[in-house]
Structure 1
């Protein structure tokens, strides 16, 4: 990546869309309040799933509708994505579809529930759409994964604008890409050393104009949080190590799921990315030393 490109990656994510997607997993009864807090703080992307085991998608929808009615945001301001989760990832006593019906019926019932939960108006489904819907994971076989994808393609572009997949390995992504009419627009994976930071997969995404989203960016990387380039960037910019790590990962053309439950952290994280952006513009030489060290850490996990 050139000097210009490295500056642009953070600038683009901050200026055109705030740097993070707000992650709503595991928020339980606090989901509505936290989503509204995130929107007030400046988040403009929201991630959820039709998976009551870990997400309260209906509370996300309540938060969004209240934000629209209160003038905090408009629907056009936001990027909203959700997921179809297969039976293996569901609590079988609380799920949005009957696991015993055929796969197509499962998906259509799940999508209908998401469109209803995330509807724009309190009393109508009119005008409701999803910016992206992801397969929460590949299905047990490639054939089933492609079958599920073909069902989802029937919603594009009217009710669902783009499609994606989460928790996916490169061979499956390649097979899906080749078979798909509507190509994947998003991959959402753990960004951590156990997958060697998905270096080849991220290269595939970049080549095919697929946005790579990361989750567990902090939780999965305690060593990176304590690393020299993160400490150097934090000291140079006055941000906390978590924000410094976020900024260095964003520089890899990664969009980060940020699920903080703290209003202070929501604001500080967004402001911190802006401070790093200012630092990059002011001291390119220092920035390039930091990012070269960070890239070496990421690439070295492949050996």
Structure 2
């Protein structure tokens, strides 16, 4: 298959000097039996940043796609996440993920949820710092961490997270979390960046799409990119994958960015990190 990128995806430099493609491909809720095919399609479309997690159950499929693609490992950026129920055994959990992915080094490893009721995320972070020091991980970070969680982590660890991956889309922007993270040099990465499709029907988004001859998804992704956010859309359709990737060629003006930003409505789709207690995820 052709694996030549059709577009040039911008990169951001994390706080430890590692670069990350600003637009990647997420595999949340991709069935394990379909993961290899879908990720192979994404790689063929030009994606070089793949985001998975132990809790998704599809790391092996991602690994199989990487192996089948023939793309040099150094050209790929692979993210996975620590399962909530394994925060007390992060080193062993990481080895399981690395084995499933079939890679020697993971580019970015995240604590998936803080689950503050467990009181284990600082312990997990300390274990991840050791893995980073050994060179097994190129960058470490967190996901779904609220400002209070970040303060606890920063007080108990010796490293600052490189990334905080959070639910973020036009109708749910979490400005307090983003501002707190960025004040510490932590990049924001958006999951559910299209509001799982719900934000694409907004009149503002549709008007801008018509104006630019773009899809509504491209407008929302361009909004994320224009705000300096890392973004990981998902699609099982190869043509939609290419359309989403082409969002990097669309630049919105400051006024257009503000117009999309005005859609904030506090509409959370996923779980609330303050109360989420699914320890086995």
Shorter chain as denominator, the TM-score bin is 0.7 to 0.9
User: In the alignment, what sits opposite 1:45?
Assistant: 49
Is the counterpart of residue 131 in structure 1 residue 131 in structure 2? no
Is the counterpart of residue 74 in structure 1 residue 62 in structure 2? no
User: In the alignment, what sits opposite 1:93?
Assistant: none
Q: Any idea what the Cα deviations from partners look like across 1:168-198, whole Å, max 9, x if unmatched?
A: 212111221233212101111111578x511
Contact 1:45/1:78 (<8 A) preserved? yes
Structure 1: gaps of 5 or more residues: 1-9, 88-98, 121-127, 281-286
Matched ranges for 1:145-160 at <5 A: 145-157=121-133, 158-160=135-137
Closer/same/farther in 2, CA of residues 269 and 233 from structure 1, 3 Å limit: same
Q: Any idea what the Cα deviations from partners look like across 1:183-239, whole Å, max 9, x if unmatched?
A: 101111111578x511021112222221211111223562x4233432232112211
Contact 2:187/2:229 (<8 A) preserved? yes
Structure 2: gaps of 5 or more residues: 1-7, 13-18, 268-281
Closer/same/farther in 2, CA of residues 50 and 260 from structure 1, 3 Å limit: same
Closer/same/farther in 2, CA of residues 242 and 218 from structure 1, 3 Å limit: same
Is the counterpart of residue 173 in structure 1 residue 150 in structure 2? yes
Whichever of the two has the greater Rg, that structure is 1
Return the TM-score normalized by structure 1.
0.75
Q: Distance in 1 between matches of 2:46 and 2:170?
A: 30
User: In the alignment, what sits opposite 1:284?
Assistant: none
Q: Distance in 2 between matches of 1:252 and 1:178?
A: 28
How many angstroms does 1:142 deviate by? Answer: 7.7
Match of residue 162, structure 2, among 168, 173, 185: 185
User: In the alignment, what sits opposite 1:55?
Assistant: 57
User: Is the deviation greater in 200-209 or in 57-66?
Assistant: 200-209
SS of 2:164's partner is strand
| Count of residues in Structure 1 that have an aligned counterpart in Structure 2 | 252
Which protein is richer in helix relative to its size? 1
User: In the alignment, what sits opposite 2:276?
Assistant: none
SS of 1:171's partner is helix
Match of residue 218, structure 2, among 222, 240, 243: 243
Q: Distance in 1 between matches of 2:123 and 2:68?
A: 36
Contact 1:61/1:118 (<8 A) preserved? yes
Q: Distance in 1 between matches of 2:173 and 2:40?
A: 32
User: In the alignment, what sits opposite 1:94?
Assistant: none
How many angstroms does 1:61 deviate by? Answer: 0.8
User: In the alignment, what sits opposite 2:15?
Assistant: none
User: In the alignment, what sits opposite 2:262?
Assistant: 296
Q: Distance in 2 between matches of 1:62 and 1:297?
A: 39
Return the TM-score normalized by structure 2.
0.80
Contact 2:168/2:193 (<8 A) preserved? yes
